[in-house]
A = this chain, B = another copy of it.
Amino acid sequence: MKKHQVTIIDIAKNLGISKSTVSRALTNNPNVSAETRKAVLEMAKSLDYQPNMLALSLIKNETRLLGVIIPDIQKPFFAAIVSGIQHAVGRMGYRTIIAQSDESPQIEKENIQALMLSRVDGFLICHTRDTRNFDHVKTLYQKGFPLVSFARICQELPIPKVVEDDFNGLYTTTQHLIETGRRRIALLAGPKHMRASKLRQQGYMAALRQNGITYDQDLVEHTRFLPEHVTSAVHKWLALPKPPDAICTIYDAGGIQIIQLLKNKGIRIPEDIAVAGFGNDPVASLVEPGLTTFEQRPYEIGLIAGKQMLDTLKKKFTDMPPEITISQGKLIVRSST
């Protein structure tokens, strides 16, 4: 079944020369006579020789493979980032191994350890919503692996980071809601410990403060991005003596679910309650009414992250501590507000 693979030694034997000479001919080394090179190239072609990258990797200790750790490839946001990363690093001959953590910190850790053993040349990591311990990434850092952190970043290491326009996104969205006459604006946030959620909430609070609206703790709910959390948050808000006249969320899927819930209850959007999201997922424009949302460009985030990885691999960042890069976004107003 599996026949002997053709090696440079086979070429050498067939031509009665040494493997060193064959290697030179194949690698464009100048120290070969023109006729020898020609003979080697022809023989390589006729034997259908394929270089064995494994042997090369072993010598150079470089695989040209990058590990990409994401929670879930089925989320359009992550799929777009992966696409961006691949297009950025593919030009330089790097391939990516995608590993999904399924939002489990344990699996995230296992994936990283497995890819470390596979000797990938670097890691691009987006943590699970529950990752709070970063020891596994610190180990990577100590071992000298090039690292780039994106979206849900690790702040405890001096590595390149690419994030969304968190603060500004919710600041702008909240500002827009206030400008359209809303005063009791609820916020569907994420896990309390999560950096992006905290920043987005700060943007929301800053807009309220700037417009002289007092912050009402009852109008802010924290979720772990699960549908049941959204349902209970909405029910809680609707049961308030003074229910909100607008709800903004830190993620589109939550906004879309809220639209469905409110429609089912016969509540008019945006007349009774306005709804806004974050991210501009492909679905945001398809729901009825269209979801007002702060656009993010995940593909661009991937491109930037990939670029940063290439720079790190070229050791451009030997001294200067790598900065955090914010991918700008903009508000897209649709009929939900």
> Would you call B74 and A83 a contact (CB within 8 A)?
yes
On chain A, which size bracket covers the interface?
A: 35 or more
- The majority secondary structure among interface residues of chain A is mixed
As a 0/1 sequence over residues 69 to 86 of chain A, the CB contacts with chain B under 8 angstroms (1 = contact) are 000111010011011001
Query: Measured between C-beta atoms, what is the minimum distance from A107 to chain B in Å?
Result: 10
Q: How many copies does the complex hold?
A: 2
Q: Is A178 an interface residue (CB 8 A)?
A: no
Q: Is A50 an interface residue (CB 8 A)?
A: yes
A60: nearest residue on chain B (CB-CB)? B54
Q: Is A52 an interface residue (CB 8 A)?
A: yes
Binds B, one of A14-22, A34-42, A186-194, A279-287: A279-287
List the B side residues contacting A55 at CB < 8 Å: 58
> Would you call A54 and B63 a contact (CB within 8 A)?
yes
As a 0/1 sequence over residues 10 to 50 of chain A, the CB contacts with chain B under 8 angstroms (1 = contact) are 00000000000000000000000000000000000000001
Chain A positions near chain B (C-beta within 8 angstroms):
1-3, 5, 50-55, 57-58, 61, 63-65, 72-74, 76, 79-80, 82-83, 86, 95-100, 114-119, 144, 256, 282-283, 286-288, 299, 315
